[in-house]
Amino acid sequence: MPSSERRAEIDRLRSRYIELVQLALTHMLYRPFDIRWDESPEPDDYAGSVELREAAAQEFAREDFDWADVRADGRDWPQYAQTMVGLKRLANVRYCVERVLADGVPGDLIETGIWRGGVVILMRAILDAYDDRTRTVFAADSFRGVPPPNLEAYPADTGSALHTAKALSISRKEVERNFDLYGLLDEQVQILEGWFKDSLPKVKSRTWSVIRLDGDLYESTMDALTNLYPGLSVGGFLIVDDYGHGPCRQAVTDFREAHGIDEPIEAVDWLGSFWRRTH
């Protein structure tokens, strides 16, 4: 086989592997879908949550209900899937990681707030697919869910009851098991356990190529930005899963204004956004 054809075949197989990982992480390879509609403790300004819950009971009865569309948008809290972010936000993670690899942007990868580990598993799978042995994927989580709002210091988190959501409290053991199911629990995976205010200062001196924030609260978002953004390489990406959520968006706005960050923010879907650092 000529070298050009061999490269094309490798590219095809690499892409197919990553696509299968994305579908497996969202549980979209399997039937029936595992979509469930728990009572969400999210505040009313969390885009679409109230309307979706009210409509769910009626939609369940429809034979033509598009479960795949809901999962692709990441609008549900799944029972079995290893991520709730949906295919569109996973595709964004893939784009960012592949772009920094192609462009040779230096730095490790991190997600702050990993739930069952789906996004960081995808990050590690992409490094594996490209045989990148130089970067580490950091998975930062409390493994106790979301912290109670500190309203004295962060009044923007008023009204949040996410700390009461038991479904958000996933053990470290379960996350490590999920990594192991994909054969990806190795020395290129580092887990940072604890509240962000305690864990992230330990890695603030590192260089990053992709930073993904999924902490929901103003406080959690600001802790991550403060400790991680100074280490983001030029050409690297900052992804915010909860940008459509008021407190998180306000933290991003406040941080960008305080540090003169003017790169345009691009929407991923109804909730997530990102930008690429240019200077």
The answer to whether position 80 is within a domain reads: no
164 pLDDT higher than 60 = yes
* Mean pLDDT of the residues in the chain: 90
| % pLDDT > 70, the chain | 87
The answer to whether position 126 is within a domain reads: yes
68 with 99, same domain? no
192 with 229, same domain? yes
Which structural domain range is residue 143 located in? 86-276
CATH number of the structural domain spanning residue 158: 3.40.50.150
Checking 153-157 for CB contacts under 8 A at 24+ apart, the result is 153/219, 154/217, 154/218, 154/219, 154/222, 154/247, 156/218, 156/246, 156/247, 156/250, 156/251, 157/217, 157/218, 157/219, 157/247
CB 142 within 8 A of CB 195: yes
Position 37 confidence tier, pLDDT thresholds 50, 70, 90? low
The answer to whether position 81 is within a domain reads: no
Per-residue pLDDT, averaged over 226-250, amounts to 97
Pairing of strands 232-240, 266-267: unpaired
The answer to whether position 78 is within a domain reads: no
When comparing pLDDT for 123 and 40, which is higher?
123
> What is the sign of the dihedral through the CA atoms of 163, 168, 169 and 172?
negative
The answer to whether position 181 is within a domain reads: yes
52 with 96, same domain? no
CA dist 257 and 266 (Å) reads 17
Which of the listed residues 73, 103, 125 is the one where a domain comes to its end?
73
> What is the sign of the dihedral through the CA atoms of 139, 231, 274 and 145?
positive
